[in-house]
Amino acid sequence: MKLAERLATIPLFITATPAWACTLCHSRTAEAVRAAVLGSDFASNCAALAAPAPVLIMAAYAVRKYLL
């Protein structure tokens, strides 16, 4: 239980402050990336991003079933 208490305090030390905030979100590069990802090829981008998910789920299932 002591380990859980120690781990519970970690978020208190790593909270984001305005000084550490990401400055890339409002840059030209970020706008270009959003335009490329959310542009006219949105459906194919979503399919490409979702394609590995079933493989990863099956791999996790196999590891859990056969190794644990």
Q: Are 37 and 45 in contact (CB under 8 A)?
A: yes
* Cβ-proximal residues to 45 (8 Å cutoff; 6+ apart), any chain: 37, 38
Q: What is the pTM of this model?
A: 0.43
Give the pLDDT confidence score for residue 57 in this predicted structure.
Answer: 96
- Condensed to tens digits (0 to 9), the pLDDT of residues 7-36 reads 777 776 776 555 555 666 777 888 888 888
Place of tokens 């305005």: 18
